[in-house]
Chains A and B, each alone.
Chain A
Amino acid sequence: MSVEVRVPELGDSKGVTVLEVLVKQGAQIHVDDPLITLESEKASMDVPSPVSGVIESVAIKKGDAATAGTLIATVNADAQAAAPASAPRTPSAASASAPAGALDLVVLGAGPGGYTAAFRAADLGVKVTLIERWPVLGGVCLNVGCIPSKALLHAAKVIEDAEDMAANGIVFGPPQIDRDRLRAWKSRVVAKLTNGLSVLAKQRKVDVVRGEAKFVGPYTLQVQTPEGSRRLDFKQCIIAAGSESTRLPGFPDDSRVIDSSGALELPVDCQRLLVIGGGIIGLEMACVYDALGVKVTVVELSDALMPGTDRDLVRPLQKRIEKRYQRILLKTKVAALEARSDGLRATFEGPDAPGPEDFDRVLVAVGRSANGNAIDAAAAGVAVDKRGIIAVDKQRRTNVPHIFAIGDIAGAPMLAHKATHEAKVAAEVAAGQKSAFDARAIPSVAYTDPEIAWVGVNETEAKARGLEYGKGLFPWAASGRSLSINRDEGFTKILFDKETHRIIGAGIVGTNAGELIAELGLAIEMGADAADVALTIHAHPTLSETVAFAAEAFEGTLTDLYQPKR
């Protein structure tokens, strides 16, 4: 039976506009399913379906003006359904709140941000549903990011350390590398962690839904699960849907053009690798492949590796890899990439560009794009910018107060440890606590060899902002510990507020820089000054001493180096 569904009596509102059409032709609907969202000058409201059935045609579209009686759609109503076709019930003013039976909290995405938010909220007594599109929890970080890459970087370090000792009396001979076994080990590391996550989710009674979700309304997600499409209503939602590798337009659609996930798969036939993008991700993967004996070329569009990072921090890395890699091309772009049967032929463009060259794989590592548009966040009224990023406030609320966004999707820096801390804030706020994201510094680490790490204000930024800062620097060539691990290129640099002597930022390059930076993060958060760090006794001989030495260098109390009086 065909039923015309019209806009019901709207109270005193005239000239309302259709904000959203929530159904499509052919959609199966039930009584009270929202058909369209109207917005008057006073409020937005959903118009519920008076009948169950299948939408025959939709007569209205987004942006249309509507008044009482405007035809919305014709519905082929289910036979048994009572169909008071004429006047659908007036939408209650309360329809601007979550529908009855809505889930308390839905977390969208199970990466480090998502699972942390879900677990924290569950620990606070909130009933949580966690939606993840992949079969395993953990997101990019655990599955195809931080963790597997660190496993491979460890392997690279073992190889290089062995090599480095050859000159000092320990000669192993060339390593035999079985990429398949290496890959399997990496996968076991990942599996251990992701399985652990599933257990943690079960222990907390977090309901995990597998499927790809998109918003269809301010309180509703449609989830494509392996068992079919499913509608989830929620009262609150935390979006933690992450980011994906930015693709370069115009490149051939070829399986040999890979992103970081593809690079972690360690293809056995890759002997020549082109890395496009001299940022952290590109250089970490370059490091792995170089250690495995692959000839690596790195192309960077700007005039420096790791743009934005202090040049002095990058220099030791650059010196080392310039010697090891086939080529590092700055101010260069890949103008064309041609897929040939025997390789990918890259044509370079730039002042120092060489002629065309062939590669077995091309790793595109030019950044990551937030997934704000992939989940149709706009359908919930959440503002998404051109780059797919969702803006949030101190409490990680979006412009829609019951929807939060955390992690990569909420913008730079796209780091797991930023996501996890935002996750706790959002989960606590969703549970009714008054938390805010008040971190003053977020550390960054490049797990290259040597490692580069920094936290707080870096020197480039301090200069650009005209800050009155002082600097304490300790070169590792004077560190007994550094020399004893056969490395001397690193240094520790701390920036201080000239007036208060409080630490405002720090950068470290050298072995284990990523571990050492933690102390300085704590120092910044605690408002520690140079004397606080310098007078804290650090164990000898450790690399951590270099942090205290850098503070002493600023204080003028350093004895391990001779500094002429300032």
Chain B
Amino acid sequence: MATPIEVLVPDIGGFKDVSVIEVLVKDGQQIDKESPLITLETEKATMDVPAPAAGRIAQVKLKRGDKVSEGSLILMLEADAGAKTESAAPKPASIPAAQAAPTAPTAASKPASSPEPSAAVAASAPAATTAEIDEQAFSRAYASPSVRKFARELGADLGRIKGTGNKGRITQDDVKALVKGILSTPAAPVSALPKVPVVDFAQFGPVEIKPLSRIQKISGTRLQASWINLPHVTQHDEADITDLEAARTALKTKASQEGVRLTPLAFIIKASILALQEFPRFNASLDASGENLVLKKYFNIGFAADTPNGLVVPVIPNANYLNLYGIAHALADFSEKARAGKLKAAEMQGGSFTISSLGGIGGTAFTPIINAPEVAILGVSKSSLKPVFEKGAFVPRLMLPLSLSYDHRVIDGAEAARFVVFLSKTLSDVKALL
């Protein structure tokens, strides 16, 4: 029997303190190479960590609910003889080695926004998980039962308190002092957002409590962070897509030969990339200091996808290198994966601009919330035939409503208007897109 090797958490895309939501193996279990060992849940996705080698589990070293980072010990594995054992920390199956993509962990994008760590979001974030209590130290602390009970009520870790009582005994005042100390440390300024009133709805009639889905909970926080932190302005316009629609219809046969369905969204993405190339400030983010603009030289386009579990934003990487059919392919692939809940974390990272299209449903305009730390988002509503006054007469034209929300700290109103005008012109001039 080989000496057990350590199996460690592999590179998980820069995430730290990721929750173990499932431990799939037990001590003594025989496993094959690549069979899943544990399931991790990041803010963005769940992923399995596969076995680096076949063998027998000597001892599982973590349990459900533990927090892990890259390099954390998962288990000891007695690898089968002959199995390669030197790479104890394999790449997880679910994250392809796409780390090359210039995705700074802080600039990761997702349903709404990934607030900068320095931004004062503490107030809006749900109460941080109660500070871990060192139970060992707690059980040895020189404190009477009443003081221990008091410490439990406040969630204070007795092990961290140096008692001021006789012979170092921890008094109730010592516990208070610890908590006061923590509260008065200059933490993120607790901005006093006025609270929405809490109402007992049941007093007005029958109600049903339904918890938000996991994705809704995550995206909710991010949407709120974006809404609070970014001064949003929305610029509306209409693009004449009569020619575009004609071209799209004409290309349908060709598209189906290519095996794709050519949707208006593919054209809109193509046009947006041209606009972003013309107006680079829209393909940018503010850095952590808020004083520099990070202009991105890549065009990774996110699109909001509606799934049974909630809103997700898959990202088409380097979309500027794709032609219309390539974009249409990517759209179809990612939408399918999103609906099946199979998007990987990496496939939702690294966006530089986001498009939210409600064109298939309806509406004339809306104000999309920016997928911070991006600085702009394009909302697309439903196109309709409208009379347009042209060369002395009203003619029916197919008009597509566009709504561009932008971060006013980065983008001026005139610039936004120019961007949208450019975009609608590009959409009207279908040849530029083909």
Nearest A residue (CB) for B158: A438
Q: Are B210 and A12 within 8 A (Cβ)?
A: no
A residues near B210, Cβ cutoff 8 Å? 92-94
CA distance A290 to B308 in the complex (A): 74
B124-155 near A? 1/0 per residue, CB < 8 Å: 00000000000100110011110011001101
B residues near A526, Cβ cutoff 8 Å? 144-145
User: A525 is contacted by which of B144, B167, B209, B213 (Cβ under 8 Å)?
Assistant: B144
Asked whether B205 is an interface residue with its Cβ less than 8 Å from the other chain, the reply is no
Q: Are A434 and B152 within 8 A (Cβ)?
A: yes
Least CB distance, B355 to chain A, in whole angstroms = 23
CA distance A403 to B39 in the complex (A): 25
Asked whether A169 is an interface residue with its Cβ less than 8 Å from the other chain, the reply is no
Q: Are A438 and B309 within 8 A (Cβ)?
A: no
Residue among B148, B152, B210, B211 having the largest count of chain A Cβ atoms under 10 Å: B152
Q: Are B153 and A438 within 8 A (Cβ)?
A: no
Q: Are A527 and B143 within 8 A (Cβ)?
A: yes
User: A433 is contacted by which of B143, B153, B167, B340 (Cβ under 8 Å)?
Assistant: B153
What's the tally of chain B residues with a CB closer than 8 Å to chain A?
A: 28
Interface residues of B in 308-341 (CB under 8 A from A): 308-309, 339-341
Interface residues of A in 127-147 (CB under 8 A from B): none
Least CB distance, B40 to chain A, in whole angstroms = 13
Q: Are A440 and B139 within 8 A (Cβ)?
A: yes
Least CB distance, B126 to chain A, in whole angstroms = 18
A residues near B148, Cβ cutoff 8 Å? 438
Asked whether B307 is an interface residue with its Cβ less than 8 Å from the other chain, the reply is yes
A residues near B209, Cβ cutoff 8 Å? 94, 97
Q: Are A12 and B340 within 8 A (Cβ)?
A: yes
What's the tally of chain A residues with a CB closer than 8 Å to chain B?
A: 24
Interface residues of A in 13-51 (CB under 8 A from B): 13-14, 41-42
Asked whether B46 is an interface residue with its Cβ less than 8 Å from the other chain, the reply is yes
Asked whether B169 is an interface residue with its Cβ less than 8 Å from the other chain, the reply is yes
Q: Are B149 and A435 within 8 A (Cβ)?
A: yes
Least CB distance, A89 to chain B, in whole angstroms = 13
Least CB distance, A201 to chain B, in whole angstroms = 26
User: B213 is contacted by which of A93, A440, A500 (Cβ under 8 Å)?
Assistant: A93
Q: Are A42 and B144 within 8 A (Cβ)?
A: no
CA distance A11 to B143 in the complex (A): 53
A residues near B46, Cβ cutoff 8 Å? 41
Q: Are A11 and B153 within 8 A (Cβ)?
A: no
CA distance A525 to B147 in the complex (A): 11
Interface residues of A in 390-446 (CB under 8 A from B): 394, 433-436, 438-440
Known: A12-B339, A92-B210. A527 touches B138 (CB 8 A): no
CA distance A11 to B215 in the complex (A): 14
Known: A94-B209, A94-B210. A525 touches B135 (CB 8 A): no
CA distance A394 to B155 in the complex (A): 13
CA distance A11 to B340 in the complex (A): 9
User: B308 is contacted by which of A12, A97, A435, A529 (Cβ under 8 Å)?
Assistant: A12
Q: Are B211 and A94 within 8 A (Cβ)?
A: yes
Nearest A residue (CB) for B212: A93
B residues near A434, Cβ cutoff 8 Å? 152-153, 155
B residues near A12, Cβ cutoff 8 Å? 307-309, 339-341
Least CB distance, B92 to chain A, in whole angstroms = 16
Residue among A94, A436, A529 having the largest count of chain B Cβ atoms under 10 Å: A436
Q: Are A438 and B145 within 8 A (Cβ)?
A: yes
Least CB distance, B48 to chain A, in whole angstroms = 10
CA distance A527 to B139 in the complex (A): 12
Q: Are A438 and B211 within 8 A (Cβ)?
A: no
User: A438 is contacted by which of B149, B155, B341 (Cβ under 8 Å)?
Assistant: B149
B residues near A436, Cβ cutoff 8 Å? 152
Nearest B residue (CB) for A100: B208
Least CB distance, B305 to chain A, in whole angstroms = 12
CA distance A403 to B74 in the complex (A): 28
A residues near B152, Cβ cutoff 8 Å? 434-436, 438
B residues near A394, Cβ cutoff 8 Å? 135
B residues near A11, Cβ cutoff 8 Å? 308-309
CA distance A206 to B271 in the complex (A): 69
CA distance A188 to B2 in the complex (A): 68
Nearest A residue (CB) for B307: A12
CA distance A271 to B210 in the complex (A): 67
Nearest A residue (CB) for B151: A438
Least CB distance, B204 to chain A, in whole angstroms = 17
Interface residues of A in 475-529 (CB under 8 A from B): 500, 525-527, 529
Least CB distance, A524 to chain B, in whole angstroms = 10
Nearest B residue (CB) for A433: B153
A residues near B145, Cβ cutoff 8 Å? 438-439, 525-526
Nearest B residue (CB) for A10: B308
A residues near B144, Cβ cutoff 8 Å? 525-527
Least CB distance, A68 to chain B, in whole angstroms = 13
Residue among A42, A435, A500, A529 having the largest count of chain B Cβ atoms under 10 Å: A42
CA distance A435 to B211 in the complex (A): 26
Least CB distance, B347 to chain A, in whole angstroms = 16
A residues near B167, Cβ cutoff 8 Å? 500, 529
A433-476 near B? 1/0 per residue, CB < 8 Å: 11110111000000000000000000000000000000000000
User: A527 is contacted by which of B169, B339, B341 (Cβ under 8 Å)?
Assistant: B169
B residues near A42, Cβ cutoff 8 Å? 214, 309, 341
B58-87 near A? 1/0 per residue, CB < 8 Å: 000000000000000000000000000000
B residues near A439, Cβ cutoff 8 Å? 145
Least CB distance, B7 to chain A, in whole angstroms = 22
B residues near A525, Cβ cutoff 8 Å? 144-145
B residues near A14, Cβ cutoff 8 Å? 340
Interface residues of B in 155-213 (CB under 8 A from A): 155, 167, 169, 208-211, 213
Least CB distance, A532 to chain B, in whole angstroms = 10
CA distance A14 to B340 in the complex (A): 9
B residues near A529, Cβ cutoff 8 Å? 167
Q: Are B169 and A438 within 8 A (Cβ)?
A: no
Q: Are A438 and B139 within 8 A (Cβ)?
A: yes
A residues near B155, Cβ cutoff 8 Å? 434
B residues near A440, Cβ cutoff 8 Å? 139
B204-232 near A? 1/0 per residue, CB < 8 Å: 00001111011000000000000000000
A residues near B340, Cβ cutoff 8 Å? 12, 14
CA distance A12 to B339 in the complex (A): 7
CA distance A435 to B150 in the complex (A): 9
CA distance A116 to B166 in the complex (A): 35
CA distance A439 to B138 in the complex (A): 11
A527-551 near B? 1/0 per residue, CB < 8 Å: 1010000000000000000000000
B residues near A13, Cβ cutoff 8 Å? 341
CA distance A525 to B309 in the complex (A): 51
Interface residues of A in 91-121 (CB under 8 A from B): 92-94, 97, 100
Least CB distance, B339 to chain A, in whole angstroms = 6
Interface residues of B in 15-36 (CB under 8 A from A): none
CA distance A94 to B143 in the complex (A): 43
Q: Are A93 and B211 within 8 A (Cβ)?
A: yes
Nearest A residue (CB) for B211: A94
Least CB distance, B71 to chain A, in whole angstroms = 26
CA distance A439 to B149 in the complex (A): 10
The 8 A-B residue pairs whose C-beta atoms are closest, nearest first, are: A94-B210, A438-B148, A12-B341, A11-B308, A436-B152, A527-B142, A525-B145, A526-B144
**Can you list 13 A-B pairs, Cβ within 8 angstroms, ordered by A?**
A12-B307, A12-B339, A42-B214, A42-B341, A92-B210, A394-B135, A438-B138, A438-B139, A438-B145, A438-B149, A525-B144, A527-B169, A529-B167
Residues of A at under 8 Å CB distance from B? 11-14, 41-42, 92-94, 97, 100, 394, 433-436, 438-440, 500, 525-527, 529
With A434-B153, A434-B155 given, name 17 new contacts (CB 8 A). Answer: A11-B308, A12-B308, A12-B339, A12-B341, A93-B211, A94-B211, A97-B211, A435-B149, A436-B152, A438-B139, A438-B148, A440-B139, A500-B167, A526-B145, A527-B143, A527-B144, A529-B167
